Every structure is written in C-alpha cells, then in structure tokens.
Structure 1
Amino acid sequence: MVVDEDVAVALRERSHAQVAVFVAGCVERMAQMFIGLRGDAPGRDNDVDTVIRLLEELWNSEVPRKKFQSYVDCLSDFPELDDSFDEEIVDPGEIYSFYAVLALRYAALHRSRGEIEAALKCAHACLTAMGQLDQNIPVAMFFAQETECQQRVVSSCPPDGAADEVAQLRVADRVMGQERLAALQERLSY
C-alpha cells in the first residue's frame, strides 16, 4: 500500500473522531475534482449534489453511521464505480473522477463501520490519484503535498471536539483541492 507506514500506524492509534477528520480532509482535497469535472455534465446533477452533501456530513461528527451506509450504497451506483468503467478509463477527466468517487466511498465506508482499513484505502486513493496527476503535469508536486498533508494531520490531529482547529484544516484542504482542480483543468486544456 502506498500510504506512509507512520500514517497507517498513527491512524490505528487515533480515536474514531480523529480518523473521521482525517478522511474528511482527504475527501475535501479530492471532491473538488469531481465537482469541477462533473458539475456541468448532463445527468450528473444528483451525483454532484450527493457529493456535496456527503462532504458536508463527513465534517459533522454528529451524523449517525446509518446515514453513511446510505452514501456507500449511493456511490456504488455512480458510473465511475461500474464494473465495466475501469476497462474504459483513458480520459484524464474520467480517471480523476474515478479516484474522487473511490475516496468518497471509502470515507463513507469508514464512517459507516469505523473500519481503519477503509480510512487507509481512502488515503491510498488520494495518493494514487496525485501520483498520476504528477505524471501528467510539468511540475510534479501533488503526491508529495498529499503525503505531507496526511503525515501532518495524523501527527497533529485535533483532539475530539476541537471545532476551530477542524475548521482551519477544512479551509486548508479546500484550497488544496481547488489547486488540484486548476492543475487538472489546465492539463485537460492541452
């Protein structure tokens, strides 16, 4: 697995609330790509709305586990996760939409069941996507940025209930997500 060993060990030692913040951050950095790539696509309005709602709820520690299971089920029906989809992935937009949906699904799976393995798979999807993005742009920086971000969050994850620190993390993650989307859109314009 691509996830840094220290990150994997730290995630196993953190509270459920801290791991929930970790996966919410991963998704915040990835969701921008899905929203940006699929926001204008015909027939994807409901999918984009689902992603936006899920993203909001991932940051809310009060949302019950059952709600996240409904997101897991819903995301499983997205075209990106269709069994035949991965055979046809050649378009860069499809590739990054796939990784964004995969990260979202694993984050929702973690929140629905509390499984650390789902959180690790979420982190892995983010790293894989950023590694591929780096291979397709002139200045490779996103894989290293994602690795550093994951390491930083697990080493200084705010204690349960530290709303101000969590809000600051979210803002920083949103900015990173927007930078990734901008780099991807520039790549797609070639």
Structure 2
Amino acid sequence: MAVDRGDPLGTFLVEASRRPGQIAVASLVERMAQLFTGPVGATGGRTADVEAFLLVLDDLWRPGPADDEPWRGNAARLMALPELAAEREPSGALAFACHALAVAYYACEYRRTGEVRHATRAGSHALDSMFFLTEHVGDGVDRMAQERALRRRDVEELSAEADLGAVSGQLRDRSRRRSAKLVAALLVPGQETPGGPGR
C-alpha cells in the first residue's frame, strides 16, 4: 500500500526511527480506544473483552523490537473479539468499537513486522471512522481534519530533540482526552466537550 503523502503519520513513519514511530502509532490507537471501551463496556458481560483490549493498548505504548511475539498473539486476541470475529460489521455504537479494533489490529501488525503499510491501514481506518462518526452524530464537525491536525502535532513533537519518555506521556494524555470527546459525541450526542482537538 502506498503512503498517503497527505497523511502526516504515514509520511513520518517512512523516515522515523523505531521508537518515535511506535509512539505515534500508539497515540493513534489511544485516540480510538474509548470508541471500543465505551460501547463495549456498556454491554453486559463484556468486562473481559474491555480488559483484553486495554492490555493490548498498554503493550502498544511499550518499547520493543519488531517481533512475531507477543504481537501475533495480541493481534489474534483482537481478532477473536465479537466485533471482528463476526461476518458482518455490527450496527450503531458497536460499529465504532469495530473500527477501533481494526485500528488496534493493524497497529499490532505494524509492531510485529515493522512495515509501515500496516500503520497506514490503521490510520486509514481511523480517518474513515471519524467521517462515519460525524455522519452518525449529524453535527457537521470535521473530525477527519481534527484527526489529521492531531497527527501533525504528534509528529512535530516526536520530531523535536526531546525526551521520548516525556513526550510519550504527553501524547498519551492528549490522546486520552481526545478519545473521551469522541465517545461522548457517540454515546451522548450534544455532550462532547467544547473546544478544538487536544484541549
């Protein structure tokens, strides 16, 4: 898959060293995470599925080489969850849980192989999800543009000469706040926190 030169994440990953690339991809998954944990957590009997997803998310934030294990196992755990295991994508809020899982799955494949094409797929799924979220909510907010802006901000901070440990923590906090806004828009339309991306 060719890198979309309009996507700051894909362009960055082509040139980035291993650890900054891993952080950028983890930040992408973090922004999607609550679109999984929110709808699925509200479904009875799914606590173990939420915990499984969060364990994979924590692994994505940890440094390490491209390696078959544990990433093959993490990808398999995600694929076994109902939203990805089903023949059809679920409807309603759980469709966005499926999108979040797809982003996390391709992030695991990126960590397993080090191949940028997997991260590019993760990024494409996330952008598609932002488009469909705005259609679903019907509020006209350009969440695709907001996602691209957040990617540019991540890339700028990861490209600077800085302590990657500190930058990683800052990106994770910002992406969690963004994810909270997205799930609020999905589950309680009209209650999304005001302000631009990253606030």
Give the percent of matched residue pairs that are identical in Structure 1 and Structure 2: 26
Q: 1:2-43: per-residue Cα shift (whole Å, max 9, x none)? A: 955352222211112111111100110101111011013233
Which residue of structure 1 aligns with residue 195 of structure 2?
A: none
The letter of the residue matching 1:109 is E
Which residue of structure 2 aligns with residue 154 of structure 1?
A: 155
Which residue of structure 1 aligns with residue 75 of structure 2?
A: 72
Q: 1:79-121: per-residue Cα shift (whole Å, max 9, x none)? A: 21125123xx3x2212101100001101111111111111111
Q: 1:48-85: per-residue Cα shift (whole Å, max 9, x none)? A: 11111111111111487311211111111112112512
Q: Is the CA contact (8 Å cut-off) linking 2:24 and 2:155 kept in structure 1?
A: yes
Q: Is the CA contact (8 Å cut-off) linking 1:2 and 1:128 kept in structure 2?
A: no
Cα RMSD (Å): 2.4
Q: Which has the higher contact order (CA 8 A, sep 6+)?
A: 1
Q: Is the CA contact (8 Å cut-off) linking 1:29 and 1:176 kept in structure 2?
A: yes
* Shift, 1:144, TM fit: 1.3
The letter of the residue matching 2:143 is F
| Unaligned 5+ runs, structure 1 | none
| Unaligned 5+ runs, structure 2 | 192-199
The letter of the residue matching 1:24 is A
Which residue of structure 2 aligns with residue 93 of structure 1?
A: 93
Q: Is the CA contact (8 Å cut-off) linking 2:84 and 2:102 kept in structure 1?
A: yes
Say which SS state the counterpart of residue 62 (structure 2) adopts. Answer: coil
Question: Normalization by structure 2: what TM-score?
Answer: 0.84
Aligned pair count? 186
The letter of the residue matching 1:82 is A
For 2:41 and 2:64, the matched residues in 1 are separated by: 28
Matches within 5 A, 1:111-190: 111-137=111-137, 138-157=139-158, 162-187=164-189
Aligned residue among 43, 47, 54 for 2:49: 47
Say which SS state the counterpart of residue 41 (structure 1) adopts. Answer: coil
* Alignment partner of 1:13 is 2:15: yes
* Shift, 1:141, TM fit: 3.2
Structure 1 residue ranges (4+ consecutive) displaced by more than 6 angstroms after TM superposition: none
